[in-house]
């Protein structure tokens, strides 16, 4: 795991969870810190992937003007963002 910089912080964790984590760390010959980092990494990776999957559809009510009837997605996107700094 990439250590990068190290920041010291304090976190309140339920007693029973800390006891279980320390027992697993002891059994696996690692540290509580390593378990916490591994757990945070796993959660952040899972949530990052979950966030990238959720795509909200864009629904436009009304009629499209004739010049865009046969437009490609790129042409529609460019027109939508024209003048918006993109």
The label of the residue with tokens 């795991």 reads: 1
pLDDT digits (tens, 9 = 90+) for 41-84: 999 988 887 666 667 777 777 787 888 888 998 988 888 888 88
Structure tokens at 68: 């865009």
pLDDT at 6: 87
CA atoms within 13 A on the CB side of 27: 7
What is the C-alpha to C-alpha distance for residues 80 and 65, in angstroms, rounded to an integer? 13
Task: Indicate the pLDDT class of residue 39, thresholds 50, 70 and 90.
Answer: very high
pLDDT digits (tens, 9 = 90+) for 19-30: 999 999 999 999
Q: What is the pTM of this model?
A: 0.52
pLDDT at 13: 95
Question: What are the φ/ψ torsions at residue 61 (nearest 5 degrees)?
Answer: -95, 140
């Amino acid at each position: 795991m990439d250590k990068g910089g190290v920041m010291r912080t304090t976190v309140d964790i339920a007693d029973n969870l800390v006891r279980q984590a320390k027992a697993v760390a002891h059994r696996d010959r690692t540290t509580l810190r390593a378990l916490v980092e591994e757990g945070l990494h796993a959660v952040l990776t899972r949530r990052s992937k979950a966030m990238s999957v959720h795509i909200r559809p864009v629904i436009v009510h009304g009629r499209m003007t004739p010049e865009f009837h046969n437009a490609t997605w790129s042409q529609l996107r460019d027109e939508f963002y024209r003048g918006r700094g993109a």
